Amino acid sequence: MSESRVSDPGRTLFTRILQIAALNAFAVAQPVFDRLGSNPEYLRLEDFSGIAIGTSLLLFLLAIPVATLIVMAILKSVKCPKSADLVFATVGMILVAVSLNIVFRWLQWRFEWRRVGIPDIALFFAGFSLALGCGWMYRRWQWPGQILNVAAIGIILFPLSLLSLSAMQAEILGITPKSSSTTHAKNPVPVVIVAFDGLCGMSLLNERHEIDAVRYPSFARLAGKSTFYRNATTVHSRTTQAMPAILTGQLPDMSKLSPVESNHPNNLFRLIYDTNQYDMTVFEPVTRLSPKELRQLDQTLSFTEQVWQLSGTLTRVYLNTSMPTEFECLQPEIPLSWYGIVEETILQERPSRGLVAYSWDAEHGLQVAHFVRCLQKTEKPGFHFLHVVIPHDPWSHLPSGKDYSVNSRIFEHAVGTTGEIGEYWADDELFVKQGWQRYLLQLQYADRCLGKIIDQLESTDEFERSLMIVVADHGMAFIPSQERRKPVSENLPDLMSVPLFIKLPGQAAGEITDRNVETIDVLPTIADVLQMQLPSIVDGASLVDQNTKERPRKSMYCDGSEVMVINPDFPQRFSYVDRMLATFGSGSQDDRLWSLDTIPELVGRQLTEFKSGDPSPWKCNLEHGGGDLTPRWPNFVPSYFTGHLTGPKISQPVQIAIAVNGRIGGTTRTSTNSDMSGSMGALLREEVFAERPNVVQLFEVERFGDTFVLHKMSFTSLDFTVRSDSSSASDDP
Ligand SMILES: [Zn+2]
């Protein structure tokens, strides 16, 4: 009834558009700004211009209100005010529904509503129903419109809030951190730094708590010529916080979560760059701390292309993260570059000086080979920095340099893990051990890479006179029913311990010390050796300064603002080594790295030795292995198998034998965890596979006392394709 409607004088076209703009600011612009503000690394990676970023942000702020204004103005001018009202009401109610949905999703996350069975889709429809109610109230009363008029302040406040972030000031306004131009190194010796990722220092040790020289000959070789800080620990278990701690000497600051230069202006790269005394080569695949000036590749996209690309990515991120999970099939895919993964187009040129761009999750062989090539004598002393994301997962490398999982990228979680991003180990110990085995094999591959680097330094006579530092950002935990990456008291030895080797210029003899050292001590030590004044006070201390007192504690920062303070000699420090030796032995007579077969007595035997029973009632859907088992390129060996059994309900784990070319190559079983019932995984030795096409057969194994019966199991496999860039085959480090 017309009497119940608010009359229109206060609601001119201008105020209505202002109200749409206010709703749009809450429903669209702020969520987009929030996501961009938390990921400035993406802007650094893509190197968009400030004006392109600003234009894209304005589009999110104004596109919907302006389009609505134009349509309403046209409809009014052709005397269709009712249609104009309908457009206003429709756009307004959709924006209200989206805003409510965002609030609901936050409440759902905060109070874990999903656990009590409230699905996303219910909240989605609740949002729309409430929006209809809001529409009715808007027509009935004046005050909802007045609230919207006040809320229009968001149009100004949200962009200002984004611009208050120093990272955004750097990217949009070009306000870069002040350069400390006085930096000068009085002793500019060559510097080589290798930072491995996810390498627990304890995993390198044998029963004598020395470097296991059989499994890790290159680390042992380095230990023989450097100081090995056996009690070195990290201060954070995430790369984005742990790497900046190494490069700034500062403890993590939870108000500066993004690892970009503007958040860490006095980082090692900037300090070295500003000396103007070094030729720098920086491989920085995850963090973006190196000065913009080191970037060698010019932006190739035009302004319009940049706006198109950035707006497109942000729209996809917005839709992907705002839509109910039930609409997963409709969610657009987010470009990999949003996650810091470099697309092939950026990789076309690979300079040998300055910043070198690589993706963190693949092509490690290529990266290390490239780094080795860069280790040449230069006119100025060299500063060579390599951050290489091994032995961190995805695990795909064997010690020989061969790969068993060519397509394994970040989205594939290790078998036996749970949680949205595989953040926990489930309770099946075998699966945890299988992950640990793959990790230790990849660590042997990391050792091989280190060996190539030391070889090159020795061949160019740079080793002796260089300051060489080998470190890792954090460890990795392998404990059933525990967090993989988040520190809790049980996994501290796994996560905190990192290797730290410092070879001073001219140092020839090795030394092991149990001094309490943290990764924040790396930067002040470098400054001390180079005799370089630091522009500000740091939390770490030089390890070569005899006057430095040993720190009486260790700190471990957690996600959020929680800090664990730990006794430097924390009692369970070597428990990682004890657990590892109990499972895998060491590189000695007792080497049990390949000991995870569930029925070891079958391995290596011919199929003809066994009685075959009826076909197994289960079928295996393989995700790895079993497809085209012809090694298509020399570096690939199809020795990794994962899959899921379908068929009758599994009451107890099914024992499985995998035969290759008529001989049993490995045995495994399905998970004991009821949530993963039917899942299986196994890594076979590479020697089992021939160069020619391999014939794989799967069997369910039934045991009768000492005899075994094999039941042939049918299987399907994903037709996986080898990544088009197979060049790492020839660039194996
Ligand atoms: Zn890391």
Examine the pLDDT at 731 and tell me if it is beyond 50: no
- Ligand 1: centre distance to CA 439 (Å): 14
pLDDT at 413 over 50: yes
For ligand 1, the distance from its centroid to the CA atom of residue 192, given in whole angstroms, is 19
The CA-atom distances, in angstroms, between 397 and each of 390, 481, 686, 688 are 9, 26, 11, 16
The answer to whether 399 touches 448, Cβ cutoff 8 Å, is: yes
Tell me: pLDDT of 188 over 80: yes
**Cα 462 to middle of ligand 1, angstroms:** 28
Of the pLDDT bands very low, low, confident and very high (cuts 50, 70, 90), residue 725 is very low
Instruction: Count how many domains the chain has.
Output: 3
- Rounded to the nearest angstrom, the distance between the alpha carbon of 391 and the centre of ligand 1 is 10
- The alpha carbon of 236 and the centre of ligand 1 are apart by a number of angstroms equal to 9
The percentage of the chain sitting over the pLDDT mark of 70, rounded to a whole number, equals 92
Q: Is residue 415 part of a domain?
A: yes
Q: Which residues pair with 668 in a beta bridge?
A: 656
- Please work out, in degrees rounded to the nearest 5, the angle formed at the alpha carbon of residue 105 by the alpha carbons of 99 and 108: 145
Same domain, 391 and 519: yes
Quick one: pLDDT band at residue 633, thresholds 50, 70, 90?
low
Give the pLDDT confidence score for residue 416 in this predicted structure: 86
CA of 565 to the centre of ligand 1 (A): 21
**Structural domain range at position 630:** 600-729
Q: Residue 389 Cα, ligand 1 centroid: separation in angstroms? A: 7
Distance between CA atoms of residues 473 and 233, nearest Å = 9
The answer to whether the CB of 398 falls within 8 A of the CB of 365 is no
Domain boundary among the residues 173, 208, 223 is at 173
Between 235 and 9, the higher pLDDT residue: 235
C-alpha 473 to ligand 1 mean position (Å): 5
Residue 56 sits in the same domain as residue 139: yes
Residue 542 lies in a domain: yes
- The C-alpha angle with vertex 348 and arms to 347 and 354, in degrees rounded to 5, equals 65
Q: Percent of the chain having pLDDT more than 90?
A: 60
Closest CA to 475 of 543, 393, 539: 393
Which is it for strands 655-660 and 696-704: parallel, antiparallel or unpaired?
Answer: antiparallel
Q: Within the chain, what is the greatest distance between any pair of CA atoms?
A: 94
Q: 351 C-alpha vs ligand 1 centroid, how far in Å?
A: 24
Q: How much distance in Å is there from the Cα of 126 to the middle of ligand 1?
A: 41
Cis peptide before 394 (omega within 30 of 0): yes
Answer yes or no: is pLDDT of 575 > 70.
yes
Lowest mean pLDDT among 155-169, 409-423, 719-733: 719-733
Q: What is the mean pLDDT of residues 71-76?
A: 92
Say if residues 367 and 283 touch (Cβ distance below 8 Å). Answer: yes
Alpha carbon of 558 to ligand 1 centroid (Å): 14
Structure confidence by residue, pLDDT tens digits, 504-558: 999 999 999 999 999 999 999 999 999 999 988 999 999 998 888 889 999 999 8
* 406 and 546 both lie in a single domain: yes
**Could you give the CA distance from residue 704 to residue 712 in angstroms, rounded to a whole number?**
17
Whether 409 shows a pLDDT value over 60: the answer reads no
Kindly give the distance from the C-alpha atom of residue 12 to the centroid of ligand 1, in angstroms, as a whole number: 56
pLDDT for the residue 540 = 96
* Centre of ligand 1 from the C-alpha of residue 195, in Å: 9
Q: Evaluate whether residue 476 is within a structural domain.
A: yes
Cα of 544 vs centre of ligand 1, distance in Å, is 26
Domain contains 589: no
- Over residues 320-337, the mean pLDDT reads 82
pLDDT for residue 80: 86
Residues 213 and 138 in one domain: no
CA separation for the pair 385, 367 (Å, rounded): 12
Model confidence pLDDT, tens digit, residues 483-495? 998 898 889 999 9
For residue 198, the CA-to-ligand 1 centroid distance in Å is 5
The mean predicted confidence, pLDDT, of the chain is: 88
For residue 156, the Cα-to-chain-centroid distance in whole angstroms is 34
Total count of residues recorded for the chain: 733
Residues 369-405 have pLDDT tens digits of: 999 999 988 889 999 999 999 999 889 999 999 988 8
Residue 105 CA to ligand 1 center (angstroms) comes to 30
Task: State in Å: Cα 16 to ligand 1 middle.
Answer: 50
Taking the C-alpha atoms of 340, 345, 350 and 354 in order, what is their torsion angle to the nearest 10 degrees?
A: -50
Extract the tokens encoding 492: 């501290």
State the CB neighbour count (10 A cutoff) for residue 193. 20
pLDDT at position 661 over 80? yes
User: Within a domain: residue 592?
Assistant: no
How far, in Å, CA of 634 to CA of 402, rounded? 8
Q: For residues 473-504, b (16+ Cβ closer than 10 Å) or e, as one string?
A: bbbbbbbbebbbbebeeebbbbbbbbbbbbbb
132 C-alpha to center of ligand 1: Å? 47
Task: Report the 10 Å Cβ neighbour count for 617.
Answer: 13
Ligand 1 centroid–CA 339 distance in Å is 14
How many Cα atoms are found within 13 Å in the side-chain-facing hemisphere of 685? 14
Helices (H), 178-295: 217-223, 239-248, 268-275
Strands (E) across 435-499 are located at 467-472
Contact (CB, 8 A) for 243 and 193: no
For the cut 90, the answer to whether the pLDDT of residue 190 exceeds it is yes
Average pLDDT over residues 2-14: 60
Domain stops at, among 173, 206, 236: 173
CA of residue 429 to ligand 1 center, whole Å = 24
Distance 347 CA to ligand 1 centre (A): 22
Does residue 374 lie within any of the structural domains?
yes
459 and 567 within one domain: yes
**Span from the CA of 685 to the centroid of ligand 1 (angstroms):** 28
Count CA atoms closer than 13 A to 538's CA, side-chain side.
29
Please state, in angstroms and rounded to a whole number, the distance separating the CA atoms of residues 731 and 710. Answer: 42
Separation of CA 287 and ligand 1 centre (Å): 10
Ligand 1 centroid – CA 286 distance (Å): 9
CA 593 to CA 587: how far, in whole Å? 9
- Give 305 Cα–ligand 1 centroid separation in angstroms: 33
Averaged pLDDT for residues 139-161: 89
d(CA 3, CA 1) in angstroms, rounded, equals 5
- Give the Cα separation of 476 and 393 in Å (integer): 9
Cα 238 to averaged position of ligand 1 atoms, centre (Å): 6
User: Cα 2 to the chain's mean position, in Å?
Assistant: 59
Ligand 1 centroid, distance to 239 Cα (angstroms) = 4
Do 138 and 231 reside in the same domain of the chain? no
Same-domain status, 429 and 551 = yes
The pTM (predicted TM-score) of the whole model is: 0.88
How far apart (Å, rounded) are the C-alpha atoms in residues 598 and 674? Answer: 19
Identify residue 637 by its one-letter amino acid code: V
Q: What is the 3-state secondary structure (H, E, C) of 42-82?
A: HHHHHCCCHHHHHHHHHHHHHHHHHHHHHHHHHHHHCCCHH
> What is the Å distance from ligand 1's center to 197 Cα?
4
Which of the listed residues 144, 173, 202 is the one where a domain comes to its end? 173
Phi and psi at residue 388, to the nearest 5°: -125, 130
**Distance (Å) from CA 74 to ligand 1 centroid:** 56
Mean pLDDT for the stretch of residues 645-668: 94
* pLDDT category of residue 724 using cuts at 50, 70 and 90: very low
Least confident residue range of 206-210, 356-360, 536-540: 356-360
| Helix ranges restricted to H, 234-389 | 239-248, 268-275, 303-322, 364-374
Q: Has residue 578 got a pLDDT over 90?
A: yes
Residues 222 and 258 in one domain: yes
According to the model, what pLDDT value does residue 448 have?
97
CA of 474 to the centre of ligand 1 (A): 6
Residue 179 forms part of a structural domain: no
Q: Which residues contact 578 (CB under 8 A, 6 or more apart)?
A: none
Mean pLDDT of all residues in 341-356: 71
- Check residues 357 and 272 and name the one with the higher pLDDT: 272
Residue carrying the six token digits 């079993």: 626
Average pLDDT for residues 241-255, to the nearest whole number?
94
Return the minimum-mean-pLDDT range out of 32-41, 120-129, 434-443, 723-732. 723-732
C-alpha to C-alpha distance for 473 and 499, rounded to whole angstroms: 9
For residue 364, report the distance from its CA to the centre of ligand 1, in Å: 15
User: 704: helix, coil or strand?
Assistant: strand
pLDDT of amino acid 55: 96
Q: Is residue 311 part of a domain?
A: no
Q: List the beta bridge partners of residue 538.
A: none
Query: Are 712 and 572 in the same domain?
Result: no
User: Percent helix, strand, coil in the chain (nearest 5)?
Assistant: 40, 15, 40
Cα 443 to averaged position of ligand 1 atoms, centre (Å): 14
CATH number at residue 379: 3.40.720.10
What is the 616 CA–ligand 1 centroid distance (Å)?
43
69 and 199 assigned to the same domain: no
Which residues, 6+ apart, have CB-to-CB distance to 611 below 8 Å? Answer: 707, 708, 709, 710
Give the residue with greater pLDDT, 237 vs 351. 237
Residues 213 and 146 occupy one common structural domain: no
Please state which of the ranges 5-9, 69-73, 96-100, 468-472 shows the lowest mean pLDDT: 5-9
Output the domain CATH number for residue 613: 2.60.40
Whether 222 and 133 map to the same domain: the answer is no
Cα 481 to ligand 1 centroid, rounded to whole Å: 22
Helix (H, G, I), strand (E, B) or coil at 283: strand
Residue 145 has pLDDT above 50, yes or no: yes
376 CA to middle of ligand 1, Å? 28
